[in-house]
Amino acid sequence: MIDNRINTSGSGVAGLRVHVNWEACESNGLCIIAAPAVFDFDEKENLQLVMPEPSEELRADVERAVTNCPKQAIWVSDEA
């Protein structure tokens, strides 16, 4: 299985980058509701960051996921 927790899609292109504190994450899944294109569970309910560098159109979804995470385990950065 590919470990989606590691950012393997590094395109090097400027833009949004999503980060998850995996120590804090408890797989509440509220980020999946907010940003279903970016987050998902694997078959054992472990959260997966399936799109670590989402396009700009997904910024509002990702910011909603950041706000809704009850563990405050998600943050975003803008790569130059």
Partner 1 sequence: MTTNKVDDDFDHLDPDFPGHILETYREFRDECPIKRSEKHGGFWILTRHEDVTAAIKDWETFSSAAGVTLPPFGNIVPAIPSESDEPRHADYRGVLRPFLSPRAVAHHESYVRGLVTKAINEFIEDGRCEAVGQIARQVPALVTARLFGFDSESKALQCMDWLSTMFDSHDDPAAQGAAAIAITDELRAMVEDRRRNPRDNDVFTAILNAAPALGSFTEEECLGLVFTSVVGAVDTTVSAASHMLKLLAQHPDARARLIAEPELASTAIEEVLRMEPPAQQAARTVKRECTYEGQTLNSGDRVMLLWGASNRDDRVFANPDEFVVDRQYNPHLTFGGGVHKCLGMHMARLELRVILEEVLRRLPDYTFDGTPPDPLLKGGHMWSLPYLNLVFAPGIKEEVVLPAWTP
- Rounded Cα–Cα distance for residues 54 and 66 (Å): 14
| Residues 67/26, Cβ–Cβ less than 8 Å | no
Minimum CB distance to partner 1 smaller for 15 or for 37: 37
| Residues 51/38, Cβ–Cβ less than 8 Å | yes
Q: Return the DSSP state at 46.
A: -
Query: In sequence order, what are the residues at sequence separation of 6 or more whose Cβ sits closer than 8 angstroms to the Cβ of residue 12?
Result: none
Site pattern 44..73 for partner 1 (x: CB under 8 A): xx------------------x--xxxxxx-
Minimum CB distance to partner 1 smaller for 15 or for 68: 68
Counting residues that bind partner 1 (by CB under 8 A) gives 21
Minimum CB distance to partner 1 smaller for 16 or for 34: 34
Q: Which residues bind partner 1 (CB under 8 A)?
A: 26-30, 32-34, 36, 40-41, 43-45, 64, 67-72
